[in-house]
Amino acid sequence: MEAKPSQGLYPLHRCKTIHLVRHAQGVHNVEGEKNHDAYLSEDLFDAHLTPLGWQQVDNLRKHVKASGISNKIELVVVSPLLRTLQTAVGTFGGEGCIDGVDAPPLMKAGAGDSDRPAISSLNRPPFIAVESCREHLGVHPCDRRNSITKYRELFPAIDFSLASLPNQVETDEDVLWKPEVREEDKDLAARGVKFMNWLSTRKEKEIAVVTHSGFLYHTLNSFGNDCDPAVKSEISSHFANCELRSVVLVDKCMNGSDPPVTNYPGKIPSGEDLPSDIADEK
């Protein structure tokens, strides 16, 4: 018999707060809305943000600062495509770069056909690019990434050393994208679950993830099956451009090894402490 939804309790040190963000509007979103076949166009290779997309980023940035999220985040994980990289640094990066400050920028001025000034990495959390949170792989040129060498030139402070799937060496060119084969939804979902398992092994407790619509939808639909349908829908419904949704990732599988830093063992100094209810049973 199917279990009814119920409340759950989990140790705090086995939970993380994950702020999930879909990238802002890209040029492929605009062209694909007009004609779905546009997604097959090489003109949309590694699509960049539109001017409207940058406005969406500016508004999300204001929200994360006003809500206090910006100062809580310990790590930003981003899909290594231009539109997600632009969204991530525009939302969670610093202000404009200051002359004389010896810190590489998160983004150089004008990166990715934008009119944006350089974005500082000063006093911001680490940014790492991870291949396993990319959009569906294959067929659509907008989902094919540029070379890591090119990205490092445009986004100097982002760590691209993890821009490969687990157990794969770093590759400069995009070897995952195939022109004739589109990744199936079930395979994307499985990749997404592995990615969430990897997040649970990280030491950081509050993490932002900037990724894609398809990745979010199919990954999150793998979760929440033990919840009320309304909660399941809240978790897994489609994301709008530049939408942020905060969730708690619970490590039920003992993937992580973080100690319970807020727990206290008690009995210091030691003494008799037999509970009354146990005493009554004897």
Q: Known catalytic residues?
A: 23, 135
Q: What 3-state class would DSSP assign to 26?
A: strand
Residue for token pair 């939408």: 243
Whole-angstrom Cα distance, residue 116 to residue 68? 24
Ordered DSSP codes for 208-221:
EEEE-HHHHHHHHT
Closest by CA to 111, choosing from 99, 93, 126, is 93
Q: CA–CA separation, 258 vs 77, rounded Å? A: 20
Show the tokens assigned to 113: 């056909």
Joined tokens for residue 57: 């980023």
Residue 248, both tokens: 């708690």
How far from 79 is each of 118, 163, 227, 269, 271, CA to CA, in Å? 20, 8, 28, 51, 54
Altogether, the residues listed in the chain come to a count of 282
Give φ, ψ of 116 to 5 degrees.
-85, 145
CA distances, 90 to each of 3, 40, 174, 202 (Å): 43, 28, 24, 24
Q: Which amino acid is present at 98?
A: I
Rg (CA), the chain: 22
